[in-house]
Amino acid sequence: MRFFATCPKGLEYLLRDELVALGAGDVHEALAGVHFGGVLETGYRACLWSRLASRVLMPLAEFDAADEQALYDGVQAIDWRQHLAVDGTLAVDASSQQSRLNHTRYLAQKVKDAVVDQFRARDGERPGVDLERPSIRLNLRLRKDRATLSLDLSGTPLHRRGYRVGQGEAPLKENLACAMLLRAGWPVIHAAGGALVDPMCGAGTLLIEGALMAAGVAPGLGRDIFGFLGWKGHDAESWTRLLDEARARADAGRRLLQPCFHGSDADPGVLAEAKRNAQSAGVIGFMRLTRQSIEHLQRPVEAASPGLLICNPPYGERIGQQQALMPTYRAIGERARMVFDGWRVAVITSDEALAHAIGLRARRIYTLYNGALECRFLVFDIGGDAAPKAVDRPLTPGAEAVANRIRKTARHLRKRLDREGVHAWRVYDADIPEYAAAVDVYRAVPEDDLSATPRDWLHIQEYAAPGDIPEAVARTRLSELVRGAGLALDVPRERVALKARYRAKGGGKYGRLDERGEFLVVEEGGLRFRVNLHDYLDTGLFLDHRPVRARLRELARGTRFLNLFSYTGAASVHAAAGAARTTTSVDLSSTYLDWAARNLALNGFAGHAHRLLQADCLEWLRHERGEYDLVFVDPPTFSNSKRADDFDVQREHVELLELCAQRLAFGGTIVFSNNYRRFRLDPSIHERFVVRDTGATTIPFDFTRNSRIHQCYELQPR
């Protein structure tokens, strides 16, 4: 059976590892969730034992649903007698992305109608609707007009453990609390005899989850609602066995647990709630909860081994709160240095300025989401590398201007970047003429640690300064730009790749590039791509071609796809993801072809259906006899390779496109792109082809300041 466990963004890799440990098979992460397989008991086990999942869904059917009738028919095709009794109840949750049907309440209503109409037509009676405790809860996910209808095995969100009696003003969800504890290494610290301290414990969620984790108590053991309990396919025997095992483990774990959990808060009201919650969870006997401010925090006297200090302080989301909270964050860092030497400290916040106020150097920084709020989770080891940061020298006026401009642009684009899932984008492009460079952001993970939380890297490429600008002035301005960009985006210098120009005979040239062999993996459209920010002039992914690649993915279904001047094969990966029958990638560079092979494999595309050919594209076209339905040709502006004739896109494009047309199947399409800003399509092309100029529609929103970054056309032979 197949299952899908949902989770908050940022927890996918942790959840994947947890499900593997729980015995799931064929486990692979997706955006905000993890796919896995197993028998029905595997799904039950995930519901009972997952500390990170939000819901566990069991797909019942997948079908096209471009309109309401198709949706209704797809739901009716399921025999609902196998799942629901006629006197039972149901509820439906629905979501929609990039689909014509996008009113979620209407979608839920349509699914419900299809189910009850089937019962009414057959039995003369129909199930009822219960939004709180239905017999079954259905989940409809509609994406690009493709519907997945699932049974929600969890019933209600799994972070609701059942112990919470009260909560503070800003409650921390239990699965986020567990993610924080795991990222901070709490299981290892506890196994070594360490204590857990939360100096701003609020409702006690971190302490309670830490205690349940340490005792091996299944997080779902206190719940009385699961979505499968009223389902006709429920295997009661398996569920009872799982519960008995979990209760036995919980009893044994609590007997061995030590009172090593220490919480404090300045608010007596939330402290009382924490005590009630801990009592309800059955762990109050292992906790010491006291009223105390952060400024008076002390290390527990009985804590002989180094432990974990962890907290979720206020973030200062409302205007004017940031400055008021600065002393609190400074106090966290000061108390950690003074009395917690050798301990680990972990703090979550959404405010970068408040994070800096802690005054410690983080060993790891993770991106987590508290609801919809993007947060940084900082982990410090006190002593040694966690020494206070050196006081930064003040920014020069120029660096401050650059930083302000980048902050403004990032703030303006952030919602759209998140909404469209863009992880590599341009934040600055010589917006201040004196500071002439392009700054690109890559949210990426190291290639050798794909489970790591993505972090921001900067790729800064200097433009040639005018000839009348002294070299020293240009160098100073570049230094100011690098510093301003790093501070504006909170990216340390070691994660900034700089391509600086130098003056040489014949004009400006880029200095010697690095040879680090350091590859990162960045996501685009749900696909993964290798990038190298240091060793090559280009990174391996042309960011301005993001919409072009998305368009190729749309056109590729069922086609034989040809990618000329294929570079690192990103377009071939998108075509493969768009269900192209075959892909053929041609490039003169063996390095780029190897890179393309790795990109294809990274996304699960391999074998004879995906050919990689090393050749001069023009010469290869002159001799090739294959037929293709979709051709993408993105040549360089100029090329003078030793292994091929010199190439000039303005001079060669007529022959190039004619050769492409000879290899094109009837009804096929050529997508032709180039980055030569003064390029002009030869008039003869319009006589030979129906030409659609798509340049304006293929410029990404983060490149609109430079509308001539590339040219793009779709051509079909007349």
Low-confidence ranges of the chain (pLDDT < 50): 319, 388-391, 503-508, 512
Burial of 280 (0-12, 13-18, 19+ CB in 10 A): middle
Q: What's the CA gap between 470 and 466, in Å, rounded?
A: 9
Q: What's the CA gap between 237 and 493, in Å, rounded?
A: 58
3-state helix, strand, coil in the chain (%, to 5): 35, 25, 35
Asked if 555 and 576 touch (Cβ cutoff 8 Å), the reply is no
Burial of 266 (0-12, 13-18, 19+ CB in 10 A): middle
Residue 442 β-bridge partners:
424, 457
542-717: CATH, from 2.102.10.10, 3.40.50.150, 3.90.940.20, 2.60.200.20: 3.40.50.150
Q: If you write DSSP's letter for every residue of 157-173 in order, what string do you get?
A: -TT--S--S---SSPPP
Domains 174-218+256-386 and 542-717 belong to one CATH topology: yes
> What residue type is 324 in one-letter code?
A
Asked if 524 and 541 touch (Cβ cutoff 8 Å), the reply is yes
Asked if 355 and 376 touch (Cβ cutoff 8 Å), the reply is yes
Asked if 660 and 564 touch (Cβ cutoff 8 Å), the reply is yes
- The dotted CATH code for 397-510 is 3.30.750.80
Contacts of 249 (CB under 8 A, 6+ apart): 216, 217, 218
Q: Is 15 helix (H, G, I), strand (E, B) or coil?
A: helix
pTM over 0.75: no
Consecutive H or E run containing 646 = none
If we measure between CA atoms, which residue out of 249, 295, 264 comes closest to residue 196? 264
Contacts of 557 (CB under 8 A, 6+ apart): 578, 579, 580
Give the fold, CATH level 3, of 174-218+256-386.
Rossmann fold (3.40.50)
Look up residue 360 and give its DSSP letter. Answer: B
Asked if 382 and 344 touch (Cβ cutoff 8 Å), the reply is yes
2-152: CATH, from 3.40.50.620, 3.30.565.10, 3.30.2130.30, 3.20.20.140: 3.30.2130.30
457-514 tens-digit pLDDT: 999 999 887 778 887 888 889 989 999 999 999 998 888 999 876 544 444 455 545 5
If we measure between CA atoms, which residue out of 410, 215, 188, 216 comes closest to residue 305? 188
Q: Is 630 helix (H, G, I), strand (E, B) or coil?
A: strand
550-571 tens-digit pLDDT: 999 999 999 999 999 999 999 9
Q: What's the CA gap between 179 and 455, in Å, rounded?
A: 17
Consecutive H or E run containing 187 = helix 186-191
- Output the pLDDT for position 516: 66
Torsion sign over Cα 310, 312, 314, 315: positive
Asked if 521 and 450 touch (Cβ cutoff 8 Å), the reply is yes
Angle 205-215/236-256 helices, nearest 10 degrees?
100
Tell me the two tokens of residue 65. Answer: 């649903």
Domain ranges of the chain: 2-152, 174-218+256-386, 397-510, 542-717
> What residue type is 507 in one-letter code?
G
